[in-house]
């Protein structure tokens, strides 16, 4: 019996094989990954909280994946520059991002130039979180939150500071002013160290500040703490009530950092990164290292769960930002 193959079908066969070629190459690339150093962008200066997380994670990934993971600091515009670099990077697993709450949930709502949302990236895992603390210089006068609220209502031109315009600390101050029906002037700084220096110097005595930055000064009596913004009391400041305890549950929030990658990274690479990050989050020495920096490890928030949490938080901040009228110039 003779089998005949129509020459007319050959081009279609070749086209089908060519169509499979990119899939084969992608699979081969994923199997070989990583075969060169990986870059991890951190949207902060060296030594900042995102950088602390980035360097601890880079150390672990280097050991786990067998290739150097190099941290590159990209501190600018609420994380937007780092995020946009990742958007332009190849989806090959060699450029990763330390993503932050501000970068993914506030900047897209406040900065028209951002032009991205959380879904425009491959979201790997949330890594750590930290609450903020409402604190003031002792010479301000109030010692408790009820006293502070009365002082703010009686003061003619009350002010509050934040470590950055468009940050959670900025909008927490706005929410506080709305809750108390008091007009407060916002004093923005460019970093937590700058903010804390002026708080201690009684230049801008009241503000929401990162716990890791403020807690040594609170313990030393250089600052007074009124409330922390977590849903539970902070391990660093266990005697300080939460915003929920003082009747301001709408101010409950944390800043968090996580691991992201460009959209379209092959699933096998995403899986390896997820597994490596989960292992990282479970290490006691990592948890201790993060606690020293005022950060709490948050294991198990990965993939779709991470993205959905991010999107819900973005909606919440979007409402606050719209109400405040804030827009990045």
300 — pLDDT class (breaks 50, 70, 90):
very high
* Cross-strand partners of 38: 69
Q: For residue 269, what are its two tokens? A: 């690479």
Q: Which structure tokens are listed for 165?
A: 């315009």
Q: What are the tokens at 76?
A: 């600018």
Give the residue carrying structure tokens 């930002």: 321
Tell me the three state secondary structure of residue 253.
coil
Which of 145, 144, 128, 133 has its CA nearest to residue 234? 133
**Using only C-alpha atoms, what is the Rg of the chain?**
24
Binning pLDDT at 50, 70 and 90, where does residue 1 land?
A: very low
At 328 the pLDDT is 84
Q: Residue 190 — very low, low, confident or very high, per pLDDT cuts 50/70/90?
A: confident
Mean pLDDT within 232-242? 95
Cα 191 off chain centre by: 15
Residue 24: pLDDT band with limits 50, 70, 90: very low
CA 220/CA 227 separation, integer angstroms: 17
Residue 49's pLDDT is what?
Answer: 86
The pLDDT of residue 81 is above 70: yes
> Residue 262 pLDDT more than 70?
yes
Where residue 3 falls among pLDDT bands split at 50, 70, 90?
A: very low
Neighbours of 43 (CB within 10 A): 28
pLDDT (0 to 100) of residue 124: 99
DSSP string, 273-296: HHHHHHHHHT-HHHHHHHHHTT-E
Residue 251 has pLDDT above 80, yes or no: yes
Cite the DSSP H helix spans in the chain. 10-32, 49-65, 80-88, 101, 107-110, 145-154, 168-180, 192-200, 211-219, 267-281, 284-292, 303-324
Neighbours of 315 (CB within 10 A): 10
Indicate whether 263 pLDDT > 50: yes
Instruction: List, in order of start, the domains of the chain with CATH numbers.
Output: 36-130+255-324 (3.40.190.150), 131-251 (3.40.190.10)
CA angle 205, 207, 212 (to 5 degrees): 110
Is the pLDDT reported for residue 25 higher than 50?
no
pLDDT at res. 2:
44
Tens-digit pLDDT profile for residues 99-125 = 999 999 999 999 999 999 999 999 999
Model confidence, pTM = 0.85
Output the pLDDT for position 191.
Answer: 83
Amino acid 9: pLDDT:
53
């Amino acid at each position: 019996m003779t089998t005949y193959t129509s020459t007319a079908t050959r081009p279609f066969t070749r086209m089908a094989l060519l169509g499979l070629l990119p899939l084969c190459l992608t699979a081969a690339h994923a199997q070989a990954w990583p075969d060169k150093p990986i870059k991890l962008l951190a949207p902060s200066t060296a030594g900042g909280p995102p950088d602390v997380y980035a360097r601890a994670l880079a150390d672990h990934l280097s050991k786990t994946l067998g290739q150097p993971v190099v941290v590159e600091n990209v501190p600018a515009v609420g994380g937007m520059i780092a995020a946009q670099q990742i958007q332009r990077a190849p989806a090959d697993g060699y450029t990763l991002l330390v993503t932050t709450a501000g970068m993914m949930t506030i900047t897209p709502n406040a900065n028209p130039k951002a032009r991205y949302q959380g879904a425009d990236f491959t979201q790997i895992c949330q890594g750590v979180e930290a609450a903020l603390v409402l604190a003031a210089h002792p010479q301000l006068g109030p010692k408790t939150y009820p006293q502070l609220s009365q002082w703010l209502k009686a003061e003619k031109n009350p002010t509050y500071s934040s470590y950055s315009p468009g940050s959670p600390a900025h909008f927490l101050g706005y929410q506080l002013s709305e809750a108390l029906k008091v007009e407060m002037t916002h004093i923005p700084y460019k970093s937590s160290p700058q903010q804390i220096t002026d708080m201690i110097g009684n230049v801008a005595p009241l503000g929401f500040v990162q716990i890791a930055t403020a807690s040594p000064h609170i313990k030393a009596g250089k600052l007074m703490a009124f409330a922390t913004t977590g849903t539970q009391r902070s391990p660093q400041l266990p005697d300080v009530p939460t915003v929920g305890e003082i009747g301001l549950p709408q101010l409950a929030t944390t800043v968090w950092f996580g691991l992201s990658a460009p959209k379209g990274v092959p699933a096998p690479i995403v899986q390896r990164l997820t597994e490596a990050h989960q292992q990282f989050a479970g290490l006691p020495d990592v948890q201790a290292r993060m606690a020293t920096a005022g950060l709490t490890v948050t294991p198990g928030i990965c993939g779709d769960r991470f993205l959905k949490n991010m999107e819900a938080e973005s909606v919440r901040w979007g409402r606050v930002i719209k109400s405040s009228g804030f827009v990045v110039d």
